[in-house]
Structure 1
Amino acid sequence: MSHWLYNHQWHSAQQGIGDLLLEHELPQQPPKPEKDKVVAFNKVATMYIRYTLVFRKLEECYDQMVHPQKRRLIRHMLDGTIGRILEMKQELFSLELLEYSYFDDLLTDMKLTPADVELPIPRYFLSENAKVLKEREKLLGSILAQMEAQNDTKPEEEVTMTTEEAIQLIQVHERARQGQLRARFMKDIKLQAERDKQSELRGHPKLDKTMAATIIQKMWRGFSQRRAVEAMRAEELVFLGMALPVVKSQRHTAAYLARKTEVSLQCSLSVYSRDVRSGTSLLLDVSYVHMYICIQEKRHGTQEQYEKEYIEALDTVKQRLEETEGPDVKEQMQDQIRQWFIETRDATGKFPDYPDEEEGGSEAIFKKREELKADDNEEGKGKKGKGKKGKDKKEKGKKGKKGKKGKKGDEEEESGFVLAPSNFVPTLNDSSLNYASTWQDRDESVNLLQKHDVELIKDAKRVEIEAEIRKQVDELMREELKNLKLAIEKDKGKGKKGKKGKKGKKGKKGKKGKKGKKEKDLTPDRSIEDLYTELVREGIIVKCPKTRLSEYVGEYSFLATTLRRSGIEPMPSVYDVKRLVTEHCILPMGSQAVHEKAPHIPSLMITGPRGVGKKMLLQAVCTEVGANLFDLTPANIADRYPGKAGLNMLLHMVFKVGKAWAPSVVFIGDCEKTWMKKVPKTDKSDPKRVKKALPKILKTLKPEHRVQIIGVSSAPFDAEVKGLCVMYQRIVMVPRPDYASRYVMWRAMIEWVGGAGSISGALDLSSLAKISDGYSAGHIDKAVTSVLSERRVQQLRRKPLTASEFLAPLSKMDPIYAEIEDGFKNWFGKTPLGKKRSKAVQGGDADAGAKKAKKGKKGKK
């Protein structure tokens, strides 16, 4: 893919941002409140989808473009787009009071597929922090290796044995070995003798040419007929719409598989692969895949090279400008300031006081002069406009009085949904204006290699040089002003008084800092690396297995909106769960700029039946953003840091290291045990140990801290609903996989274990997906690994897989019954969010109870 293509893609994304800003974000007239929630939801969901399309283009451009100055602007726009998507998600949540949002009907209207609006994980999350992550991984590996070496060096019990016993034991084993070999030889000799006798009795086989030809023809006709029947059957299934046609190799399919499947391929081979999502067979030429991967790697190398050249150019261009333009700029500033001295002396009779650095120095002088000139030009206009202002004030007063009277009548008209103010729209607007002024109409016909633009560097560095020179000029001119005052004025007390006043101002600033109380540092003398090492040795920091979110496969639910229209609340699909985890965990934690302004979600709970992939999602979050994993599961910290002081020290160390080496994930397994009414006597892990401490620490987590607490629970209904929902602000409920997701899981897992060509026409995946109703992804994974052993994988060419082979391992597992899933639904209905949702569905005001409670509290006060 060429530079022109990515530039064109960038311009298309900027055009989409500009349309969104003009239509919805920065309209000429303020939008009217929308009373109909369905219309409001469709409007917000449409904006969400459009922002997602822009996000996909910008992410691709930022990863593949090599121009360093363009990449900086794209990164600024990319962070703003991610933040706006998260804000749109928050708006959808407030409208429907549901974590999962369904807009399959909107996708149909916009002629889009779920793959078009899938949220990609920005690759710069890991690439830009690759060095830090490698160093941290080395540190963790070295600590774990030292621990293993210490465990291996423990003294083992020595087995005492006399020399006679040892010789006797060796003789017994050697005689047994020789006896086994002799038995095998004798068996082979007997079998060979029997074969010789039978061959002598039968004689040598005689077969004429006609018989041999007949046998060959028989075998070939049977083989060709079977192949023809299979081809006719496949054509019939395609004609009936029960199967998809075979698609030959194309470049875009090679690129798609190169991203989705991380399989190392050689250039000289041709691999039979299948597209996991669509289910179509693809015969790919490996050279396309290899070429695409090589181009991507080459672009990444070019990015690093151009970045180094750009950083070097910043210093060299600045030095040249300081040498060539610096002296002229300095003389101009001094002349302007001297002129100001003379003008103020002629006007007031004395020299002025020079502004301090806090006030802006000479820059404040020129701003005042410009403001005075503007006021002088508008004096005449101001006099004419005074009468009009008075009239306007009277009219406003009348309108205000009318407004007070009609407040009760207008409340119903003004009530409705309005988009909340955004923290990222100004960022998007600034970036779009910068793009329009700099890059939209810029001629780059000369810059074919897409290297940095020197003129843009000069424009930016001139501002920096001017600011640096201004500080030097201010120091010189202050001394010059003092000398002038000493030469003309004899009274020196006035300057001292001014200094005293300035000291008083500084004292007032010091008082403001006393309001915020700093947290006590229990480990002031210890470094972060020392604390990290201790937590690793104690088993609190755990090495997270590398799991990509793409490995959590599933399909989109296309009937969610249809079910809701018929009054049935649909269960989320695996695709929805992946999207929610991406929005709540991965996208905010991957970027510091996004996390500081996006809706803050410091804690989250993933719940669902066993085997649905809750821990896999946790591992995917840590892998995609390169986060540290702290394990505060009650069973893991039971015997560590005893007592209240020990617990405070443990939590202090965990969150101190987590904040310093962000991003970090604090994992709490079986989190429902902390809020159980009665802990079983058999449980000796003391799960209620962190019950009081965790909510307090949760309040200290601010948007600038990229630390998230993630709890995992398989039985949330055993705990108190109130305490659990206060601790975990968001709940991600993972259901059983539906038919479409099970179909994709079977295909993907079989191909991962058995290879790309392990699925043939003999394997009925549709029947497997139907039979495995109620089984989770963990059950399917166990069944696949148990059937596809190393020996079975080697036999796949001669003996294709069949669906019946997976029935035996599935029958030995207990499925997830519908009653278990209904239990999760009923539990969610008892949560505060579930209660609000049920009131909203029934037509009541979900926030009516909260409003009454607030009014009651005000009345009591």
Structure 2
Amino acid sequence: MAAKGRPSRQSIAPKLSLSPSAVMKGRNRNKAGKALYWKVEPPTISSHLENKTWHELQLELARLNQTENSEFFDRLGRGIIPAPITIPEKALDFVLSRYVQYCMIAKQLDICYHYLVHPQKRMMLKACLLAVFTRILELKNELVQIDQREYQFLEEIIETYGCTQADVELTVPLFIREETMDILKERERFLSSVISTENSRRSSKSEKPMSRQEAILLIQRQTRFYMANKKVELAHQVLRPLSEEDSNKIMRRVVNKWRVYTTRKEVLALKTEYERLLEIIPNDETLSTKRIMSDYTLSKRNRARAKANEEEYDLDKTRIENELFGSEGPFLAWSLHYTIKQWLLEVRDVIGNFSTFPSVEEGGSTAIFADKDINDVADDLSANMATGKFVFPPTEKKKKPKKEKKIAKKNPWGAEGFEYVIDETDCMREMKDKTLQYTDYWFYKDDSANLKQTHDRDLLQEELRLVVSDEIRTQVDELIRQELEKLVYAIDRIAPKEPKASKKKSKEKGKKGGKKKGKGDLTADRTVEELFRELLAQGIIRRCPVVSLDSFICEYSYSGGALDRALRDPMPSLADVKRMVMEFAVLPLSCQTLHQQASLTRCCHWGSLKMKKKGWVGGLKRELDG
């Protein structure tokens, strides 16, 4: 299959048409009068391209998210039920296209994260990456349920989007590797020290003193070996000189070897000159080496810059939080306390007694100041006047994500009544929130004056203001509950209810006499090094071979799609096996967020002898920092 050229990082996202409201929201114009929707031209080379790529990828992700949300909402924003897909082939193509699109975006977002140094952009990009990888695993689970097998052939879909297999290859995100790099190095250093100490201790114990007779025999053997070598050298020197025929043969052989060497050099020089004329290779021989060194230097500089910006972000975050607590905290606490107290008194004037203050589960004071329209307020007042108590509406709880889709359990390729229903997941809602955050703030943000790509103080201050207000609200709610009990007792003469004593203590006391104490910790006086040494001595802990999944050279099966259409059920290639290991084992276990949100799969890797099953397991351990 002939694939089109691999797209560059900066041109993977198509040009998107913006709505008139988005265009008029805050666009700028240059000297020529051309509309500029944002300015992403920082002077540093590292941020110039990657800021541009980040904007394009965010717009592509927003477009894809909008396409998926159109299945659940109409143009007016009203919820609708998506129409089910009753044709298995159509459902498979639909999910495969979404799967390939998300894989392309995930690959480019991971590359973009490697070059971005802005801390808040990196945090947003990290959240988008987690959401995208979670969505990829969800779509993979749907593919398995529709196709009834763990591998699919992607060459036709990839050819449709004009990319290659390398553009949709899944790898562990870079930020996960960075988070575990220090821990892995420290663990490796500790294990190496323990193993070296144990080996030196074993070697010192295994050495035995040599007796006098054994030392004499060893010296005699070495002397005989030395004398035999000397005799052989003397025999070679005494041999007769070579004849004229032998010398001619040797000369002809040397000449032939030299001619082959010079001819090979000339052919290689002609080939290099021909490739330079066709501009296949650069004219400067050292250009490729310089480019590699410049990329390495740029990557190293970006990591140092990103680390310095994150440290500055953490320091400024603590400083701003303390400033907000000191400047806005007292006034916010007083105004909130006064407003809640005034509300309690007004409610007492209406219904005749004090209202119960909402509990923490009901939302506290946030339930009082919830946004309501006139009809909701009228319904609440009528219910409160009828009961004589102020009743708060129950807060909506978040629905747990559905792990199983409504798909026929039988084989869908020939089963009657096949029906695939698209479900909205928490991952899609999270991507929608991140997209709205990007379009509301970062899309129109002029970041060209930020030379060092440091954090945005205004955005950080707004985020911390919400955190400070929530913490102050929690403290004020607790204070209001105590004051309300005193007011009810002082005015209405109703004593506060005493908390009921828990029955667990009485049960524990009853069982205390008949229950025997178990053994305590037998390793309380042992250190971790001692336990490791003991496990190493017993052979329980062994050092894993350093094997990476990238070291497996795999090739894709480009005829799998044609064989699959012919119903021949082709076998997966090694590249498909590598992809399945990444999807079912590495990605769900690489991060706590992916482990919680993605559906877990029980998989077994089996095969005949000498099929590198242990090598795959070693690569899995290496990817998971085992």
> Aligned match of 1:452 in 452, 455, 463?
455
CA drift of 1:372 comes to: 8.1
2:108 maps to what in 1?
57
**Equivalent residue of 1:449, what SS?**
coil
CA drift of 1:600 comes to: 0.5
2:42 maps to what in 1?
none
**Equivalent residue of 1:86, what SS?**
helix
Structure 2 counterpart of 1:330, one-letter code = A
CA contact (8 A) 1:144 1:537 kept: no
1:296 maps to what in 2?
299
CA contact (8 A) 1:306 1:452 kept: yes
CA drift of 1:542 comes to: 2.7
> CA-to-partner distance for each residue in 1:557-580, whole Å, 9 max, x for gaps?
111111223342222212111111
1:546 maps to what in 2?
546
Structure 1 regions of 5+ residues with no counterpart? Answer: 203-215, 239-244, 252-268, 271-283, 381-411, 512-520, 628-861
**Aligned pair in 2 of structure 1 residues 447, 416: CA closer, same or farther (>3 Å)?**
same
Structure 1 counterpart of 2:54, one-letter code = W
> CA-to-partner distance for each residue in 1:11-67, whole Å, 9 max, x for gaps?
222222222222235523433222221111111111110010111111112222111
Structure 1 counterpart of 2:179, one-letter code = E
Query: Structure 2: how far apart are the matches of 1:137 and 1:225?
Result: 47
1:39 maps to what in 2?
90
1:12 maps to what in 2?
56
Q: For 1:305-320, what aligned pairs fall within 5 Å after superposition?
A: 305-320=308-323
1:620 paired to 2:619: yes
Q: CA RMSD in A?
A: 4.0
**Equivalent residue of 1:333, what SS?**
helix
Query: Structure 2: how far apart are the matches of 1:470 and 1:420?
Result: 36
Percent sequence identity is: 29
2:332 maps to what in 1?
329
**Aligned pair in 2 of structure 1 residues 12, 96: CA closer, same or farther (>3 Å)?**
same
Query: Structure 2: how far apart are the matches of 1:552 and 1:106?
Result: 25
Matched length: 514
Query: Structure 2: how far apart are the matches of 1:299 and 1:167?
Result: 65
Query: Structure 2: how far apart are the matches of 1:166 and 1:222?
Result: 53
Structure 2 counterpart of 1:21, one-letter code = N
> CA-to-partner distance for each residue in 1:256-278, whole Å, 9 max, x for gaps?
xxxxxxxxxxxxx95xxxxxxxx
**Aligned pair in 2 of structure 1 residues 371, 150: CA closer, same or farther (>3 Å)?**
same
1:248 maps to what in 2?
281
**Aligned pair in 2 of structure 1 residues 423, 318: CA closer, same or farther (>3 Å)?**
closer
CA drift of 1:9 comes to: 1.9
CA drift of 1:447 comes to: 1.7
TM-score, with length taken from structure 2? 0.72
2:15 maps to what in 1?
none
> Aligned match of 1:188 in 237, 247, 265?
237
CA contact (8 A) 1:321 1:462 kept: yes
> Aligned match of 1:74 in 125, 128, 131?
125
**Equivalent residue of 2:469, what SS?**
helix
Q: Which has a greater percent of strand? A: 1
**Aligned pair in 2 of structure 1 residues 533, 16: CA closer, same or farther (>3 Å)?**
farther
> Aligned match of 1:437 in 413, 437, 440?
440
TM-score, with length taken from structure 1? 0.53
CA contact (8 A) 1:125 1:625 kept: no
Query: Structure 1: how far apart are the matches of 2:217 and 2:341?
Result: 110
1:585 paired to 2:582: no
**Equivalent residue of 2:553, what SS?**
coil
CA contact (8 A) 2:46 2:302 kept: no
State which drifts further: 553-562 or 173-182.
173-182
CA drift of 1:289 comes to: 0.6
Query: Structure 2: how far apart are the matches of 1:63 and 1:526?
Result: 44
Query: Structure 2: how far apart are the matches of 1:433 and 1:360?
Result: 25
> CA-to-partner distance for each residue in 1:450-502, whole Å, 9 max, x for gaps?
1111111111111222122223334444555455556x53x63x233xx24x6
**Aligned pair in 2 of structure 1 residues 153, 344: CA closer, same or farther (>3 Å)?**
same
Structure 1 counterpart of 2:616, one-letter code = L
2:145 maps to what in 1?
94
Query: Structure 1: how far apart are the matches of 2:261 and 2:169?
Result: 48
**Aligned pair in 2 of structure 1 residues 86, 478: CA closer, same or farther (>3 Å)?**
closer
CA drift of 1:312 comes to: 0.9
1:174 paired to 2:223: yes
Query: Structure 1: how far apart are the matches of 2:360 and 2:229?
Result: 96
**Aligned pair in 2 of structure 1 residues 438, 374: CA closer, same or farther (>3 Å)?**
farther
CA drift of 1:226 comes to: 9.7
2:155 maps to what in 1?
104
Query: Structure 2: how far apart are the matches of 1:580 and 1:314?
Result: 41
CA contact (8 A) 1:126 1:626 kept: no
> CA-to-partner distance for each residue in 1:514-557, whole Å, 9 max, x for gaps?
xxxxxxx9986658958766555443333211212111012111
> Aligned match of 2:176 in 104, 107, 125?
125
**Aligned pair in 2 of structure 1 residues 352, 116: CA closer, same or farther (>3 Å)?**
closer
2:495 maps to what in 1?
495
2:609 maps to what in 1?
610
Query: Structure 2: how far apart are the matches of 1:532 and 1:327?
Result: 54
Query: Structure 2: how far apart are the matches of 1:69 and 1:420?
Result: 31
Structure 1 counterpart of 2:280, one-letter code = V
Query: Structure 1: how far apart are the matches of 2:268 and 2:460?
Result: 70
**Equivalent residue of 1:154, what SS?**
helix
Q: For 1:309-458, what aligned pairs fall within 5 Å after superposition?
A: 309-367=312-370, 371=372, 375-376=376-377, 415-458=418-461
Query: Structure 2: how far apart are the matches of 1:225 and 1:318?
Result: 71
Query: Structure 1: how far apart are the matches of 2:595 and 2:200?
Result: 40
Query: Structure 1: how far apart are the matches of 2:135 and 2:537?
Result: 41
1:160 maps to what in 2?
211
**Aligned pair in 2 of structure 1 residues 476, 289: CA closer, same or farther (>3 Å)?**
same
Query: Structure 2: how far apart are the matches of 1:250 and 1:418?
Result: 57
CA drift of 1:507 comes to: 8.0
Structure 2 regions of 5+ residues with no counterpart? Answer: 1-44, 74-79, 248-254, 382-414, 508-517
Query: Structure 1: how far apart are the matches of 2:552 and 2:142?
Result: 27
CA drift of 1:343 comes to: 1.4
Query: Structure 1: how far apart are the matches of 2:212 and 2:281?
Result: 70
Query: Structure 2: how far apart are the matches of 1:222 and 1:331?
Result: 91
CA drift of 1:332 comes to: 1.3
Structure 2 counterpart of 1:609, one-letter code = S
Query: Structure 1: how far apart are the matches of 2:98 and 2:123?
Result: 25
> Aligned match of 1:462 in 459, 462, 465?
465
**Equivalent residue of 1:128, what SS?**
helix
Query: Structure 2: how far apart are the matches of 1:70 and 1:288?
Result: 27
CA drift of 1:131 comes to: 2.3
CA drift of 1:445 comes to: 2.5
> CA-to-partner distance for each residue in 1:221-248, whole Å, 9 max, x for gaps?
995699569969x99xx9xxxxxx9931
Structure 2 counterpart of 1:322, one-letter code = F
CA drift of 1:592 comes to: 0.9
**Aligned pair in 2 of structure 1 residues 372, 535: CA closer, same or farther (>3 Å)?**
farther
